Amino acid sequence: MKNKFFIKYLIFGIIISFFLSCQNDKKKETKEEKTDPVVMEKIKKFFKNPEKSSYQISPDGKYFSFKAPYERRMNIFIQEIGKDKEIQLTKDTARDLSGYFWANNERILYLKDTGGDENFQLYGVNIDGTNLKALTVFEGVRTRIIDVLEDFPSEIIVGLNKRDPRIFDPYRLNIETGKMEMLAENPGDISGWMTDHKGKLRVAFVSDGVNQSILYRKTEKEKFENVITLNFKENLSPIFFDFDNGDIVYAASNLGRDKAAIIKYDLSKKKEIKEIFKHPEVDVYNLHYSRKRKVLTSISYTTWKKQRHFLDKEVENLIKRLEKELKGYEVGITGISKDETKYMVIAYGDRSRGCYYFYDKKTDKLTKIHEIAPWLNENELSEMKPIKYKSRDGFTINGYLSLPKGKEKAKNLPVILNVHGGPWARDHWGFNPEVQFLTSQGYAVLQVNFRGSTGYGRKFWEASFKEWGGKMQDDLTDGVNWLIDQGIADKNRVAIYGASYGGYATLAGLVHTPDLYACGIDYVGVSNLFTFMKTIPPYWSQYLPMLYEQVGHPQKDSLLLAAKSPALNADKIKSPLFVAQGAKDPRVNIQESDQMVEAMKKRGVVVEYMVKENEGHGFHNEENKFEFYEAMNKFLKKHMNK
């Protein structure tokens, strides 16, 4: 797995991405309503932990691994292929494990944080449950994976900000002993690193927050030299080296283009040498290859659904063979054995959380392993349909509309505008538990890829700069009005809801279009652009100059930021508001929600507030999710006149 460093469009999505996922709560101020057992049953169906998920396969193809609940927290298990016995490797009861991977045939590595603080720490455990070791557990330190070093079974390369909380140094880490060796000292401006196929550190990315340079060296013994310096609006993102490990890399680039394409680039000659693939409507970032055969295999990109462009007949035949047997579902590969004969496959859709299969290429046999949520009946769930409309200034805005089951032709429905986070991210087609829960309660759900949403080209992205609460919000307003004009939405029963930037958009919608929404739900959202920029984590401070260009400068654009900060304009809000916040949120500090709630109370407008002390940027613990969505449902029922 090579480092794919797409800083240009994705960095702020990382900064404030939409990742959705206690008895010391600040409880709601209104009188508690009784729990509806039927509604609670649905909440649990949609939001409870899966029976088993996140399947992977060992490098030798003998075992598959998965995550499953242990005391309500997702932990790691393995199972020998062809046998029934499961072996539990971890027993964490505080929080779901964030992610894991096979380091070699005998050892699995995983990441976890504390209470949602996002200071991820790396642990290792043998497949028999022995030698559980904390590998990068340092207080206040965050771990990044740079290279898993597939050809060096006992080592990986990680980035740690333990020397300076603002920057990450690369270390070669022995996963058996925990011994680390620093490979280079970050001088203070390097934002990322990239290795070649032999695990050698040969590319560094330097950023001053606005401009990024790509540095390159032929060997680790040589000094890094500058290849190219670009403004953050321009994108040249190396994906991996060519197979001879020379000067050539495959990259995603929008240089001279509006939409990013896959190209070959010569780092030594400092020029593009070949365009491999582009799409006229969307950016293309993802390039895949066979490690064993050393050939490019496919390119994936997203229009309204995930699409593939094949470069290799063998992989094309494999995918088509799987799609034929799994007809009607999207097919993905979640794990491949080192000899590329055994595969973990997932089949999923907009009405299915997915089902895992094991495919043996030698026998051409596809075996069902496990459904992620077997308690869900697809026939009872809503379809997610693509929609598009024109913004008031001429942009084509894409999105999705999900209607309650059985009301596909109904008119004047209550509607929830569900705004994605980022904001430089996008909504995708697929199973969304929030959407399915809301449609099960009779609401239509509108999801909008407003300007700034990634994947639609540079012009569309740049049109969002300094438009928080402005034209970005207009795109959302135009979407609601489009639904009203279509006769689908009841203009008196529209609510706005979102997390992170979506939470900001909720507040901004209530401020700038106070008569449009019956109520709003702000989930870990920004409320004050001045205080938000002061409280970002130290390792994101490098990107403040870029953030100033994208959102606004606290001094130079103070009037703009003041006008677009909902907490400073709460006097314009008429509609009831529900706010939910994680106390340990490192991205959107709890101060954002506190001051918004206080401003609403001073106004005398209905506001309900839920805080979870053991959560960060979004609720991940199962019981907290249940409580949040139960409160959301009661709030909507009360204020949408249902």
Known catalytic residues are 500, 585, 617
- Using CB atoms within 10 Å of the CB of residue 448, give its burial: 0 to 12 exposed, 13 to 18 middle, 19+ buried: buried
Backbone angle region of 562, left / alpha / beta, with phi > 0 → left and psi within -120 to 50 → alpha:
alpha
Do residues 4 and 239 lie in contact, with contact meaning Cβ atoms separated by under 8 Å? yes
Measured between alpha carbons, how far is 635 from 252 in angstroms, rounded to an integer?
Answer: 44
Neighbour count for residue 120 (Cβ, 10 Å): 18
Q: Helix (H, G, I), strand (E, B), or coil: what is residue 625?
A: helix
Paired residues of 211 in beta bridges: 231
Residue whose token pair is 């992610």: 99
Measured between alpha carbons, how far is 283 from 237 in angstroms, rounded to an integer?
Answer: 13
Tell me the DSSP string of 240-262.
EE-TT-SSEEEEEE-TT-SS-EE
Measured between alpha carbons, how far is 186 from 506 in angstroms, rounded to an integer?
Answer: 39
Neighbour count for residue 136 (Cβ, 10 Å): 22
Contacts of 229-236 with CB under 8 Å at 24 or more apart are: 230/255, 232/7, 232/8, 232/207, 232/546, 232/549, 233/8, 233/458, 233/462, 234/8, 235/6, 235/8, 235/9, 235/260, 235/458, 236/265
Encoded tokens for 569:
């304009």
* Backbone angles phi and psi of 34, in degrees to 5: -70, 150
Encoded tokens for 19:
């990742």
Residue 488 CA neighbour count, 13 Å, CB half: 22
What is the pairing mode between strands 121-126 and 107-112? antiparallel
Sign of CA dihedral 222, 223, 229, 233: positive
Encoded tokens for 589:
């500090």
Encoded tokens for 494:
């529209």
Residue 341 CA neighbour count, 13 Å, CB half: 6
Measured between alpha carbons, how far is 228 from 211 in angstroms, rounded to an integer?
Answer: 10
* Backbone angles phi and psi of 534, in degrees to 5: -85, -15
Distances (CA, A) of 535 to 38, 556, 585, 598: 41, 19, 10, 19
Q: Over 320-370, what HEC string results?
A: HHHHHHCCCCEEEEEEECCCCCEEEEEEEECCEEEEEEEEECCCCEEEEEE
Sign of CA dihedral 309, 315, 320, 326: negative
Nearest alpha carbon to residue 365 among 348, 382, 341: 341
